[in-house]
Amino acid sequence: MAECHPVGFRWVMKAKERGATIIHVDPRYTRTSAVADVHVPIRAGSDIAFLGGIVHYVIEHERYFRDYLVPFTNAATIISADYHDTDDLDGLFSGYDHGHYDEASWQYEGVTAVPAAGHKEVVARLGAGKVGKVDDGDLESAFRAPRDDTLQHPRCVFQIVRRHFARYTPEMVARTCGVPEEQLLRVARAMCDASGRERTAAICYAVGWTQHTVGVQYIRTAAILQLLLGNIGRPGGGIMALRGHSSIQGSTDIPTLFDLLPGYLGMPHSGQAHSLDEYLRSHRSSGWWSELPKYMVSLLKAWFGDAATRDNDFLFRRLPLLSGDHSHLETITEMADGKVSGYFVIGENPVVGTVDGPLQRKGLRKLDWLVVRDFAPTETAEFWRSSPEIDRGEVRTADIQTEVFFFPAATHVEKDGSFTNTQRLLQWHHQAIAPPGDTRSDLWFAYHLGRRLKQRYAATTGERDLAIRALTWDYPTVGPTGSPIDEPSAEAVLREVNGYHVATGAPVAGFTELADDGSTACGCWLYSGCYAEGVNQAARRRPAAEQSWVAPDWGWAWPANRRLMYNRASADRDGRPWSERKRYVWWDEAAGKWVGHDVPDFIADRPPSYRPPDDAQGLATIGGDAPFILQSDGRGWLFAPSGIIDGPLPSHYEPQESVIANPLYPQQCNPVRLEWRRRDNPYHAAARDRRFPFVLITFRLTEHHTAGGMSRWLSWLSELQPALFCEVSPELAAERGLHNRGWATIRSARAEIECRVLVTRRLRPLVLGGTVVHQIGVPYHWGRIGRVRGDVVNDLFPIAADPNVNIPESKLITVDIVAGRRSRGRTAVIDGPTAIGGADPGPGAVLRRDLPGVGQIDDHPAAQQAHHQHRPPGGSGGGGAQATPPRPHGRRGNT
């Protein structure tokens, strides 16, 4: 966090000064570790095992916060008798079928379907290549599921969780994560000591957690832990998602994601959305999502204005529909297959920042046109004249037909706009200087592109073009009329995002004013209130000294300017603060409403004693003791009966490429992870194939910005970290003859790169049982253009992704490292066989999903594990490099 969020880390340092214990769990010793009280070096990709170990400790030592746990979570809820855990099924949950889970057996007893917040599973399942289904079950009955508040029922969630994590013992954690038992116990004790009525503990994570084939389950494990300890919805608690860069939170809220509409409304898809009613029926549920029709209709009104009426379903059917997985990763592979003709890349540099650079470039080469908007040329914009393939002579610039348009973009000081960062806070920034030359803001680009499209379609009459013809696109522009800039007003966009009454045009005060009859319009219900009373609430900058410590008058936080979500949980079942120290939001009996330091995240006048009647509908289903109002049962979910594609509980699976066999289950990897089995995307099964015996982990440096497009051109930053380097331990350096400041070549099954060597004790080999695992840290900021240059680290990575969110596993792979610079000639692994270390299964072959890249059924992980355990202990680096055939050291190819 100190590395990548140094400004946010200010508050961690303040907490430390006030006595907080800072624990840092990271494979590398980083700037954060340097100031942390405890640094836990962990094997990359084993976080579920580590957190599971803490969950195990909390449950076995009864350190959970019972008074919070029982009413506020689904710990007491009874689960269907059909459910079977990974413990029973060798690492699979019940309902597994050909790389896909059927959630039917995970449900609450007596309830056919428990909808998760926002119904993401319905669309997300598309990501796995499946057709989504309309769930016509009893969507509003989750709150009526049977409970056992003593937590003794063998099928209650608490007992299921206890049994599930029973095997995550300290010994198992040590063997899986390389974390000594006493260190795990120290962390577990510190977490427990900092939780309860008087104290809270927070967990912060960043892309080190999300970029895995089990990324969502990492965060699920953290959520289980925080719910057990009562750390959600309380000041100083929570799980903080540190976003990858500025306003990435905002780009999820008002999304650039393929499967979401603004405000986390599910994108309709072709198999389902034949009418608005059908869409609404399958997407709403009990709890707060019963309000969904208001948000959807208001969104359609915002987009289509007067053309959207009740009679024409508010033009719902003119929305684009999902027909399958349209994620970035899928798009890339389809581009490579020649199925995509045009591509917009705005403020992103996927050739450097996303996995499998060779495949990305292959896709770009097959486009008709490519638009790149950025501050400076990026490797993505320059792929046609600068790439490893061109260097090697495999591709000639003359043969690339892609037409590339590069648009210089304005920076944030050259335009008005808002940032929504980690803490959901909208902060407005004002233009300080006009964008020079041809540079324009992204808003300018989108607005004028839309305007021209509307001009083109103005004369058409086709029904299919209605979406463009009807689109409201009347943002006023600022600056002198006819001036070349003609910048649309960003405040006008914010005003539409906030929402307004259609009749009067007056801004709504918040989403509670929205209606489903077409009388209101709102661009994003979650942001409703950000322009309340016609005032740009995001631009408020009242100094800290002039307001309360919650600082409600600085910027504006969604939803409804709440600084802490689910803050009803900061009071006990009866609405009293857990303690004076942790007083935040509470029930004021005399006033008959919830009050506190923050805007209460609850129905303002619903007393804690309220219990929904059996026939309750809509918001009436939210009990007075159910703080998690976006969940259909109002509870925090230890056990997720739906919404998570890869299992109701987190289980440790090894990464797509791992140097060891899964110590916990015979199932090696996440059984429902997303794979792209193609010749140009080979995977490597290192647990059996020692040609790539080390783990490579990528990371970011404070000195550079993500794919480097913003920092590699700036010499003040470039001089601070001028070269691509790898961090290796002295042990690995000695084993491979690497010298500090010298060169090293790193090879994976896809590509090879060269980098400088930084030998440091900040990295150390981990010992798992008798196996030594070496991890190599490489920052990925470099590319082929800019003031400082280096090879593209992500060229080494394959595409394999988390099934819930389509985020690729770009944090770790298996590699080999040798001293010296890389070869300059043709690299054989590009377009090689899909399976390194096994026979090419051929196109369309049915493969066991737990055997990445290896099509030999008899090589079962269980057998592999036995083999692994029988190997003589004390093997050298890489967990058994003795299996590696002799390999010449030093430079390769023509040097």
Nearest CB to another protein, comparing residues 249 and 711: 711
Stretch that binds another protein, among 124-132, 467-475, 494-502, 695-703 (CB under 8 A): 695-703
Angle, nearest 10°, between helix axes 276-283 and 292-304? 140
Q: Please report whether residue 279 would count as binding another protein according to CB under 8 A.
A: no
Q: Which is nearer to another protein, 10 or 887 (CB)?
A: 10
Binding of another protein by 758 (CB under 8 A): yes
Question: Shortest Cβ distance from residue 485 to another protein (Å)?
Answer: 16
Q: Is 459 left (phi over 0), alpha (psi -120 to 50) or beta?
A: alpha
Least CB distance to another protein at residue 697 (A): 17
List the one residue out of 362, 341, 343, 340 whose CA is nearest residue 351.
362
| Strands 674-675 and 800-801, bridge-based pairing | antiparallel
Nearest in space to 467 (alpha carbons), one of 322, 342, 321: 321
Please, what sign has the CA dihedral across residues 613, 614, 618, 624?
positive
Please say which residue, 411 or 617, places its beta carbon nearer to another protein: 411
Q: How far is the CB of 530 from another protein (least distance, A)?
A: 27
b (16+ CB within 10 A) / e for 805-843: bbbbbbbbbbbbbbbbbbbeeebebbeebbbbbbeebee
Q: What crossing angle do the helices spanning 47-60 and 170-177 adopt, rounded to 10°?
A: 170
Per CB under 8 A, the segment of 7-15, 146-154, 463-471, 812-820 that binds another protein is: 7-15
Choose, by CB under 8 A, the member of 204, 757, 778, 807 that binds another protein: 757
Q: DSSP state, 806?
A: -
Among 252, 760, 856, 884, binds another protein (CB under 8 A): 760
**Binding characters for another protein, 297-316, by CB under 8 A (x = yes):** --------------------
Sorted by sequence, the CB contacts under 8 Å of residue 675 that are 6+ apart come out as 656, 683, 800, 849, 852
**CB of 407 or CB of 473, closer to another protein:** 407
Annotate each residue in 708-747 with x if it binds another protein (CB under 8 A) or - if it does not, as one string.
Answer: -----xxxxxxxxxxx-x-------------xxxx-----
Compare residues 77 and 183 and give the one whose CB is closer to another protein.
Answer: 183
Which residues in 413-452 contact another protein (CB under 8 A)? 433, 436-439
* Residue 749 touches another protein, criterion: CB under 8 A: no
- Burial (Cβ within 10 Å: 0-12, 13-18, ≥19) of residue 616: middle
Q: Strand, helix or coil at 521?
A: strand
Site for another protein contains 7 (CB under 8 A): yes
Angstrom distance (rounded) from CA 244 to CA 704 = 12
Q: What is the x/- site pattern for another protein, positions 26-65, by CB under 8 A?
A: ---x-xxxxx---x--------------------------
Q: Which of 423, 702, 856, 876 binds another protein (CB under 8 A)?
A: 702
Query: What whole-number distance in Å separates Cα of residue 82 and Cα of residue 89?
Result: 13
CB of 225 to another protein, least distance (A): 25
Does the protein bind another protein through residue 105 (CB under 8 A)? no
Both structure tokens of 441: 């803001």
Contact criterion met (CB below 8 Å) for 743 and 757: yes
| 15 is a site residue for another protein (CB under 8 A) | no
Residue type, 46: S
Closest approach of Cβ 431 to another protein, in Å? Answer: 14
Residues with Cβ within 8 Å of 81's Cβ and at least 6 positions away in sequence, in order, are: 109, 155
Q: Per CB under 8 A, does 484 bind another protein? A: no
From the CB of residue 181, how many other CB atoms can be counted at a distance below 10 Å? 15
State the minimum distance, in angstroms, from the CB of residue 178 to another protein.
14
Q: Measured from the CB atom, is 167 or 756 closer to another protein?
A: 756
When binding is defined by CB under 8 A, the residue of 344, 375, 445, 473 that contacts another protein is: 375
Strands (E), 292-431: 342-346, 369-374, 403-408, 417-420, 425-429
Contacts of 580 (CB under 8 A, 6+ apart): none
Interface region with another protein, contact rule CB under 8 A, candidates 194-202, 299-307, 374-382, 674-682: 374-382
How many amino acids of this chain bind another protein (CB under 8 A)? 57
Q: Which residues bind another protein (CB under 8 A)?
A: 2, 6-7, 9-10, 13, 29, 31-35, 39, 375-377, 382, 385-386, 406, 408, 433, 436-439, 701-703, 713-723, 725, 739-742, 756-762, 784-788
